[in-house]
Amino acid sequence: MKKYRVNVNGTQYDITLEVLEGEAAAAPAPKAAPAAAPKAAAPAGGQAISAPMPGTILSVNVKPGQAVKKGDVLVMLEAMKMENEIMAPADGTVGAVNVTKGQSVQSGDVLLTLA
């Protein structure tokens, strides 16, 4: 048995927890998280457009070689049930597109590059 004191909204409670050795040992071990894929780097002279937050790609609106203007929507990213437009920060040409529709991305992942 282990005793703990817990404070809930300014009220203190003393609790006792029973440690069950047999059941804890029989529980399956948690699976290890998959290794993160290496982040693609922008080519020399290119500008990497990265995910500002973790989310899911809803659409990719450009293709490699396509010319874009500043403010054009490149990718739609869903994060926390909100659609976020990832826009071109400057005029340029799409170099490489590193994501596809439905793909999950993490903050900082390179979505595409502009030349």
pLDDT of residue 73: 94
Cβ 78 vs Cβ 103: under 8 Å: no
Tokens representing residue 103 in the block:
């793909």
- Neighbouring CB atoms inside 10 A of 65's CB total 10
Q: Is the pLDDT of residue 16 over 90?
A: no
Domains and CATH numbers, the chain: 47-114 (2.40.50.100)
Closest by CA position to 74, among listed 39, 40, 44, 47: 47
pLDDT of residue 111: 94
What is the rounded CA–CA span in Å between residue 12 and residue 18? 20
pTM for this prediction: 0.60
What is the rounded CA–CA span in Å between residue 71 and residue 9? 48
pLDDT in tens, 52-111: 999 999 999 999 999 999 999 999 999 988 999 999 999 999 999 999 999 999 999 999
**Strand 73-79 versus strand 2-8 pairing type:** unpaired
pLDDT of residue 38: 45
53: Cβ contacts below 8 Å, ≥ 6 apart: 77, 79, 84, 107
Tokens representing residue 26 in the block:
């029989």
